[in-house]
């Protein structure tokens, strides 16, 4: 594709528009802080939604997935604990203000490759359901 072609110009306009939207803050980009440990991994993200909305979304995902068993639920403290197979995960939602919440997930590290990133998968799933664009930053 040469620089004078219509396809190239349209592609350039689309890329510029997407960059403008993200840089202007019209579409919030959440950063997932992901930490790997030997026993457990954690993933934390600020989500542009109320704490109760984030908590309800997490709870809905748990109820909709027959592979996840809810072990503990504290609606007042916005905390959940569940298992998926032999792996345990804890979810906590903290209000930042009236429009933003912090989601913290800690999960067993697991032995299998698919299990090792359970904490990250949980946060990504919640962000996906809530239409939150994100980027992962490993620490």
Domain that holds residue 79: 28-138
Q: Is residue 118 part of a domain?
A: yes
Residue 84 domain-assigned (yes or no)? yes
Average pLDDT in the chain: 83
What's the mean pLDDT in 107-128? 83
Which CATH number does the domain housing residue 104 bear?
Answer: 3.30.530.20
In a domain, 4, yes or no: no
Contacts by 116-122, CB closer than 8 A, 24 or more apart:
116/36, 116/41, 117/41, 118/41, 118/84, 118/87, 118/89, 119/34, 119/40, 119/41, 119/42, 119/43, 119/89, 120/32, 120/34, 120/41, 120/43, 122/43, 122/58, 122/89, 122/91
pTM: 0.77
For residue 8, the model assigns a pLDDT of 47
What average pLDDT does this structure show over 83-106? 94
């Amino acid at each position: 594709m040469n620089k004078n072609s219509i396809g190239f110009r349209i592609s350039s306009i689309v890329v510029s528009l997407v960059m403008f939207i993200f840089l202007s803050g019209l579409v919030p980009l959440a950063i997932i802080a992901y930490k790997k440990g030997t026993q457990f991994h954690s993933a934390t993200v600020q989500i542009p939604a109320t704490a109760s909305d984030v908590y309800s979304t997490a709870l809905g995902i748990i109820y909709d997935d027959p592979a996840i068993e809810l072990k503990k639920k504290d609606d007042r403290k916005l905390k959940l604990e569940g298992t998926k197979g032999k792996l345990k995960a804890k979810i906590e939602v903290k209000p930042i203000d009236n429009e933003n919440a912090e989601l913290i997930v800690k999960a067993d590290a697991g032995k299998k490759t698919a299990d090792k990133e359970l904490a990250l998968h949980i946060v990504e799933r919640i962000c996906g359901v809530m239409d939150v664009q994100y980027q992962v930053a490993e620490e």
